[in-house]
A and B are shown apart, each in its own frame.
Chain A
Amino acid sequence: MSKTVKDAIETIPTDEINSISLSLVRSEILTKVIEYCKKHNSAQMSDVDLMDWDVEFANVHYTTLFDLVLSANYMNINCLLDLVCGKIADMIKGKTPGEIAKLFDIKDVSTYEEDN
């Protein structure tokens, strides 16, 4: 599921693989990513149940979302990336720019108007 891992496996000769370096991913986040991959690879759940499971999975604190989106990007797992991006977009829905900046702790908020 992870293109990064797949590429790593394909480029390193098989008998030399002991471990694959994922130096940019913290272990707690990696655990969650593995949980996601295992769930999606097992054929046990129906599509609709899997969607419900995804909603629960993405229902985490926004700091975890931050790490998840970067990890999914780094490990190149497209479906997880879509899920987390969608969740972040949902969190923004209906909030004023001030509220968004406060939620994500962003300091330099621009105040110029949209010019189109």
Chain B
Amino acid sequence: MSARNGKRSRIISTAANWSDLPRDLLYLISRCIDNEIDLIRFRSICSNWRSSSIPTHHTNILPFKFPLLKYVFSSYRESESDDDFSDCINDYKFSDSMNINDTNFPFEYLSKRSIFLIKPPQQQQTTLTRPWLIRFIQNSFGKTKIFQPQDTFDSLFPSFDYSNVLDFNELSVLHLGTDFIIEDEDDKHSDPHYHYLHPRTVLAVTCHGRKPLVLGAMCFITPRPMLLRDYDERWTPISSSTYYGDICVFKGRIYAVNIFGRTVVVGPSELTVQLPAQPSDPVSNKLLVESEGKLLLVELCESFPDFFGIDLFQLDEKEIKWVRLMDFDEKKNEWVKLRDIGDRVLFLGSGCSFSAYASELGLPKGNCVVFFDDSVLCVGNLNCGNCVFHLDQDRLSPASEYPEYLNLFLPPEWILKS
């Protein structure tokens, strides 16, 4: 093909006039924005941008009903001794989920929880203005508030009171993650013969122009099904015998890892793309987190109080396999673990794991992992407040030794003063 170069009548003037972009282009661009705050800002630029863009963000799926599967003790025992570890698959039978899409299937409303990194606008940033890792929660009835873990006994850091209005327009806001949780865990439906299965992590991914895919993972280690909601908003349970635990959004798709390290991409229909398992100890906890455009698998081995270790793997997208972050030591002629993620800090928790640079957070050093909720660590470590793991020291330290990490979740001075 060739273009006629002679006559070039441009409708575009030499200066690019962004506010006059065609409506359908602005619509397409607005659909690519991955969170609500950035979308609101996009829509506030000028009236043409506002009227051409999508009105609400795709992850705005509230009110959101999550179906509750029942699990029934297959043999209900009258007296249970202290050694009765009845949490194994053989003791439970999952209720028939064939009518899971019926309107009378038991459900619970979910709330949307988002985490943002807030800083003052660029020109006002100094070394004294540390950022704020703020978590918002919006329930299915529209009420929004700052999220704080309810059970302060299990919580690793002090609660705070903040009820001023935040003007986001003036702040630099970076969206770090969004997930969905059940806010009030009170057992409305309780019966000695069965329990309702509450989701541990619920994530949604949006696909251009379609309804979001939603996946709920029930539990961490013991086998429970995952529930997938497809583009037509229909729920499907995914095989319960595969012990899938942590799930994570990566490049627009949801990944799930099981206790053997086997990883799959879930949806749009059931499971696709399966990575071979990394030979590893099934007892270790496995968590997924995205960091700098790569998907990392974090394996934790905990034996309180003697031992706490972390192993890191990175997804090789070309080979479709996990690669242990190792370096080859020429002198010793052996592989050594790459115990260095540089300036990065990984924050691991249920549903909202993320990664950020220490310099961006105003922290003195990176190369560490912070557990910021009680979902991962064992009770012993939680009680001691041990939640900061420095990779170079190979040690899990109490939060009291490194208050600056968890203090990021408290409102900073410059916010309280305004």
| Interface set of A (CB-CB < 8 Å, partner B) | 2, 5, 19-27, 30, 46, 48-49, 62-63, 66-67, 69-70, 73, 81-82, 85-86, 88-90, 92-101, 104-112, 114, 116
Contacts and interface: CB of A to CB of B under 8 A. Distances in A.
Contact of B46 (A66, A70, A106): A106
Interface of B: 1-5, 7-12, 15-16, 18-19, 21-22, 24-25, 28-34, 38, 40-47, 50, 55-56, 121-122, 169-175, 208, 317-318
Given A97-B44, A106-B46, A22 B318 contact: no
A3 to B, nearest CB: 13
Contact of B55 (A2, A48, A116): A116
A19 B3 contact: yes
Contact of B33 (A20, A92, A96, A112): A92
Given A69-B29, A98-B169, A104-B45, 17 more contacts: A21-B3, A22-B4, A24-B11, A66-B18, A67-B12, A70-B22, A88-B32, A90-B32, A93-B38, A93-B174, A94-B38, A98-B121, A99-B122, A100-B41, A104-B16, A112-B44, A116-B55
Contacts of A20: 1-4
Given A19-B4, A20-B3, A98-B121, A110 B46 contact: yes
A12 to B, nearest CB: 12
A59 to B, nearest CB: 14
A79 B342 CA distance: 35
B121 A96 contact: yes
A86 B3 contact: no
Given A92-B38, A96-B171, A70 B12 contact: yes
14 contacts: A5-B1, A20-B1, A20-B3, A23-B7, A48-B318, A63-B16, A70-B12, A82-B208, A85-B25, A96-B121, A97-B169, A104-B45, A108-B19, A116-B55
Given A21-B4, A108-B19, A69 B33 contact: no
A25 B360 CA distance: 41
Given A20-B2, A92-B38, A105-B18, A100 B9 contact: no
A46 B318 contact: yes
A92 to B, nearest CB: 6
Contact of A66 (B11, B16, B33, B170): B16
A104 to B, nearest CB: 4
A90 B34 CA distance: 9
